[in-house]
Copies of this chain bind each other. A is one copy, B any other.
Amino acid sequence: MASRKGTQHATNIMEALTEAARPLSAYDLLDRLRPTGVAAPLTVYRALDKLMASGRVHRIESLNAFVACRHGEHHHDHADTPPPRAVGFAICDGCGTVEEFSDADLFAHLNGCLAAKGFVPRSSAIEVHGRCAGCVRGGVAETQP
């Protein structure tokens, strides 16, 4: 069956991302999916596109990498109603972990700033690099970009 493979790829990608618990690049994912028969980058990118459209995966622009959504609130099973992605990421440059957060006030404020210019937002990326609480306490130096 044609569409069965696609959903299987998506499932495998979700598993890899969830297990990694940190951002993985498309090529990291390709390497992990190779044993399941995936050979081409495009296969990974196509599956990621669908997962992002349904809100189960987020792209971290500043890392060119992808994380599984930890949130669950903005998931949609119907692809015709894309999620707003009103969400931000705190990226630790010490240990590489990414924490997803969502703050209604923050996004209301952001939308206010944009509305004042007449700008109509469609998707936003809020990515803060720094050090997580654990790395600050432990004095871990920056090992990630």
Q: How many residues of A contact B (CB 8 A)?
A: 33
Task: State A124–B110 Cα separation when bound (angstroms).
Answer: 14
Q: Mark A130-141, 1 if CB is under 8 A from B, else 0.
A: 111100100000
- Say whether A90 contacts B117, CB under 8 Å: yes
Task: State A130–B136 Cα separation when bound (angstroms).
Answer: 36
Question: Which residue of B has the minimal Cβ distance to A109?
Answer: B106
- Say whether A113 contacts B106, CB under 8 Å: yes
User: Would you call A126 an interface residue if the criterion is a C-beta within 8 Å of the partner chain's C-beta atoms?
Assistant: yes
Q: Which among B62, B92, B93, B109 is the interface contact of A109 at CB below 8 angstroms?
A: B109
Q: Mark A94-112, 1 if CB is under 8 A from B, else 0.
A: 0000010101011001100
User: Would you call A32 an interface residue if the criterion is a C-beta within 8 Å of the partner chain's C-beta atoms?
Assistant: no
- Say whether B130 contacts A121, CB under 8 Å: yes
CB of A69, distance to nearest CB on chain B (Å): 18
Known: A109-B103, A114-B90. A61 touches B127 (CB 8 A): yes
Other A-B contacts than A90-B119, A109-B109, A118-B136, 15 sampled, CB-CB below 8 A, are A61-B125, A90-B114, A92-B119, A101-B113, A101-B114, A103-B109, A106-B109, A106-B113, A114-B130, A117-B132, A118-B133, A122-B130, A123-B129, A124-B127, A124-B128
